[in-house]
Amino acid sequence: MITISESLPASVNQLIQDVAAKLPHRPKLARMFANCFSNTLSTTVKPLPDGTTFIITGDIPAMWLRDSAAQVRPYLILAQRDEQLAELVERVVKRQFRYVQLDPYANAFNDSDNGKGHQDDLTQMNGWLWERKYEIDSLCYPIQLAYLLWKTTGRTSHLDPVFSDACRLILKVWRTEQNHETDSSYRFERTNCPPLDTLVREGKGSPVAVTGMTWSGFRPSDDACTYGYLIPSNMFAVVVLGYMAELAREALQDEALAKEAEALRTEIRQGLAAHAIVEHPEFGPIYAYETDGLGGYHLMDDANVPSLLALPYLGYCAPDDPIYLNTRRFVLSDSNPYFYRGAAAEGVGSPHTPENYIWHISLAMQALTSLDEEEVLRLLNVLERTDAGTDFLHEGFHADDSSQYTREWFSWANALFSELILSYCGFSIPSGSLTRLK
């Protein structure tokens, strides 16, 4: 029996009950959904005096642009009929775009100008910034969330001058980083840290050629890129530039902004077409994870999203796209250096966590992008039995022993699991599939 929580909106309690009714023979899975779906609302939300909302990532008291968007995205399923939840998402969007205006190169922020976080990093820090690792996806996720809120509810009040100005700033940054070597002033160094926490060449990163793609210093794991063109993040940028153009044209009546977004989208797509695909001796043509435009390629995938595994979820391709399927077979094989097998599970991990640690996010994403019902059921069983008896999901867990895990409180993993359960139970998840590339 699922307990009703008086602290949650009635629509949330009702959906929890509806999901439980569809899982009569899976009481633990229903209980996990109840806990995970309510986790962001009950533990991470902090309203701010300016009418925006700050969302902590969980056990780290900072707001990541990426994580916060993913954390509230499942509530869009209710936002069309629940004004309270629609208002919550809107306030998160407004907070995100204020942060983008504050510094488009930062990935994580404080709730005030309090100087918390990595203030000793060698980059342009200020008291609002928790961390200033530049990641393409940090700018993609707020655009995606703003677009999905508009599509789901018809709201336009979040598409204000701050939003428009931030969109132009994002375009400026992505254009600057198309020629990182000569045009960018961004630098990042961290001392006395693992190599993946800092950039080489005095904070500039490894050399890259101009390709049409846009450069990223760090991956969505917050680990440094080996090569500067992070392919799944460039693919996500292509998708959200389509969203930006649609928003500009239909909601903002700003044809100039729409054309700017479309022009950059075309250039990045052309760069991907020329540089993203490699011929693998076993799997055929696949997408590389990173490249430098100079002949260097990194063949791997990381659990953090955007990932190669997540491309259909992000709206870049269909789940039956031939190159995606080749890439998926590579990602879910021993050829991917971060694919692990053990007594407890097999799946994709990350260099961000210890060796042989599989991520719950990657298992949920594998299921969300699968065309095989048996694979989905198997993954649901794995997720159910690897929670270490907590009824919540975590970051990574040891492939041989799920009681060994990182991050007790990781709201992003709980949110993505919630999306998977909703999808499995037949509830419509808001997505940007109308803009999916052909």
State pLDDT tens for residues 56-97.
999 999 999 999 999 999 999 999 999 999 999 999 999 999
Q: Considering the domain boundaries, does residue 252 fall inside one?
A: yes
Average pLDDT over residues 291-296: 98
232 has pLDDT over 90? yes
pLDDT at 428: 82
Tally of CB atoms within 10 A around 84: 13
Are 80 and 74 in contact by the 8 Å Cβ rule? The answer is: no
Residue 212's domain is classified under what CATH number? 1.50.10.10
Average pLDDT over residues 222-229: 98
435 has pLDDT over 50? no
Q: What is the overall mean pLDDT for the chain?
A: 96
Average pLDDT over residues 392-407: 97
Average pLDDT over residues 95-114: 98
What percent of the chain is modeled with pLDDT above 70?
97
pLDDT band at 436 (very low <50, low <70, confident <90, very high): very low
State pLDDT tens for residues 143-188.
999 999 999 999 999 999 999 999 999 999 999 999 999 999 999 9
Q: Considering the domain boundaries, does residue 409 fall inside one?
A: yes
Q: Considering the domain boundaries, does residue 136 fall inside one?
A: yes
pLDDT at 1: 58
Q: Considering the domain boundaries, does residue 142 fall inside one?
A: yes
Q: Considering the domain boundaries, does residue 244 fall inside one?
A: yes
pLDDT band at 6 (very low <50, low <70, confident <90, very high): confident
pLDDT at 3: 65
pLDDT band at 4 (very low <50, low <70, confident <90, very high): low
pLDDT band at 423 (very low <50, low <70, confident <90, very high): very high
Q: Considering the domain boundaries, does residue 342 fall inside one?
A: yes
117 has pLDDT over 50? yes
State pLDDT tens for residues 234-265.
999 999 999 999 999 999 999 999 999 999 99
Q: Considering the domain boundaries, does residue 324 fall inside one?
A: yes
Domain count, the chain: 1
Q: Considering the domain boundaries, does residue 5 fall inside one?
A: no
429 has pLDDT over 80? no
pLDDT at 199: 98
For residue 92, the enclosing domain spans: 10-435
320 has pLDDT over 60? yes
pLDDT band at 434 (very low <50, low <70, confident <90, very high): very low
